[in-house]
């Protein structure tokens, strides 16, 4: 597709429920990133994939958060036993080429707004 | 998690006025970026800066990468109503972005 697609756009989960958020990156984009954006804050890095390899997961807040990208394309962010503090917008971004000092085609999706009640 | 220090937090200006916002960090970044985010959407890149001291323009937008690599500013000239939104600075290393808290810009016609 023309842009990064995320689904669902909105998700309401009961506390303790597991959720799965999907990201379809731009076709051919090697790198994929997940960010968490709390209300009134800037996005915060969660994790990064290059193709199917998860190269950095230092931003995942707890072991309840898990991300995968098994075929190097679509990625899923899973949150187990959701808690109220998990309520946020989850943004996915993909990039064509990754270099230390460059930012080639780094494009964000519209995000999934997760509300835990 | 770490966030950059972005100021001001909000601005309320008249159409036609110039706007300036800045961002500082305790860490050095290789790239500085400025994004705009509209409600319900992801951030959209406005300007990217790759070298310390670099001054770059994109239409009415001008941004600079500080010499120390720890700060950046964004200027918007002759603001228009569609400039309304939230502006974020971000520092980048190896693709990973660290964002500021955002500046909420309101433009009064």
Contact: B50, A43; criterion CB under 8 Å: no
Rounded Cα–Cα distance for residues B90 and B74 (Å)? 12
pLDDT the model gives residue A1: 55
Contact: A33, B33; criterion CB under 8 Å: no
DSSP per-residue letters across A48-78: EEETTEEEE-TT--STTEEEE-TTSS-EEEE
Establish if A84 touches chain B: CB-CB under 8 angstroms.
Answer: no
Q: With contacts defined as CB-CB under 8 Å, which chain A residues touch B48?
A: 103
Structure-model confidence comparison of residues A36 and B3, the more confident one: A36
The nearest CA of chain A is from the CA of B79 a distance in Å of 23
pLDDT tens string A101-113: 455 668 999 999 9
pLDDT tens string B46-98: 999 989 999 999 999 999 999 999 999 999 999 999 999 999 999 988 778 99
pLDDT the model gives residue A98: 64
Contact: B43, A98; criterion CB under 8 Å: no
Q: Closest Cα to residue B84, out of B38, B46, B50?
A: B38
The mean pLDDT of A83-87, rounded to a whole number, is 98
Q: Are A78 and A20 in contact (CB under 8 A)?
A: yes
The mean pLDDT of B12-39, rounded to a whole number, is 94
pLDDT the model gives residue B93: 82
Q: Closest Cα to residue A116, out of A45, A57, A39, A44?
A: A39
pLDDT band of residue B103 (cuts 50, 70, 90) is: very high
DSSP per-residue letters across B47-68: EEE-STT-EEEETTEEEEE-TT
Contact: B33, A103; criterion CB under 8 Å: yes
Neighbouring residues of B106: CB distance < 8 A, sequence distance ≥ 6: B10, B11, B12, B13, B84
| Angle A104-B102-A95 from CA coordinates, rounded to 5° | 15
Establish if B102 touches chain A: CB-CB under 8 angstroms.
Answer: yes
Residue A100 predicted with pLDDT over 80:
no
Q: With contacts defined as CB-CB under 8 Å, which chain A residues touch B43?
A: 43, 91, 108
The mean pLDDT of A84-91, rounded to a whole number, is 98
Neighbouring residues of A108: CB distance < 8 A, sequence distance ≥ 6: A4, A35, A91, A92, A93, B42, B43, B44
pLDDT the model gives residue A103: 58
Percentage of residues of chain A with pLDDT beyond 70: 91
How many CB pairs below 8 A link A and B? Answer: 67
The conformation of residue B15, written as its DSSP 8-state character, comes to T
Q: Which two tokens stand for residue A57?
A: 């997961």
Rounded Cα–Cα distance for residues A61 and A90 (Å)? 13
pLDDT tens string A7-16: 999 999 999 9
pLDDT the model gives residue B17: 97
For B:20-79, CB contacts with A below 8 A are 30-31, 33, 40-45, 48, 50
In this structure, chain A runs to a length of 117
Neighbouring residues of A114: CB distance < 8 A, sequence distance ≥ 6: A11, A13, A19, A21, A79, A82, A86, A87, A88, A89, A90
The mean pLDDT of A69-82, rounded to a whole number, is 97
pLDDT the model gives residue B30: 86
Name the one residue in this structure whose structure tokens are 């918007």.
Answer: B76
pLDDT the model gives residue A95: 87
The nearest CA of chain B is from the CA of A18 a distance in Å of 23
Of the residues B42, B50, B102, the best mutation for testing chain A's interface (the one with the most A CB atoms within 10 Å of its CB) is B42
Rounded Cα–Cα distance for residues A16 and A117 (Å)? 9
């Amino acid at each position: 597709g023309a842009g990064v697609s995320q689904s669902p756009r909105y998700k309401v989960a009961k506390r303790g429920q597991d959720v799965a958020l999907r990201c379809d990156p731009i076709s051919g984009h090697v790198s994929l990133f997940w960010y968490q954006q709390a209300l009134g804050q800037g996005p915060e890095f969660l994790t990064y994939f290059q193709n199917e390899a998860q190269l950095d997961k230092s931003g995942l807040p707890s072991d309840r958060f898990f991300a995968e990208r098994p075929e190097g394309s679509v990625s899923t962010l899973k949150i187990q036993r959701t808690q109220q503090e998990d309520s946020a917008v989850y943004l996915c971004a993909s990039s064509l080429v990754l270099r230390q000092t460059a930012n080639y085609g780094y494009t964000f999706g519209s995000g999934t707004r997760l509300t835990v009640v | 998690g770490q966030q950059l220090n972005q100021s001001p937090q909000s601005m309320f200006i008249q159409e036609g006025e110039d706007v300036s916002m800045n961002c500082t960090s305790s860490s050095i970044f290789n790239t500085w970026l400025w994004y705009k985010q509209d409600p319900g959407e992801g951030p959209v890149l406005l300007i990217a800066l790759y070298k310390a001291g670099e001054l770059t323009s994109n239409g009415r937008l001008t941004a600079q990468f500080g010499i120390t690599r720890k700060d950046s500013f964004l200027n918007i000239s002759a603001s228009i109503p569609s400039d309304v939104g939230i502006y974020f600075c971000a520092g980048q290393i190896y693709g990973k972005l660290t964002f500021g808290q955002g500046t909420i810009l309101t433009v009064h016609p």
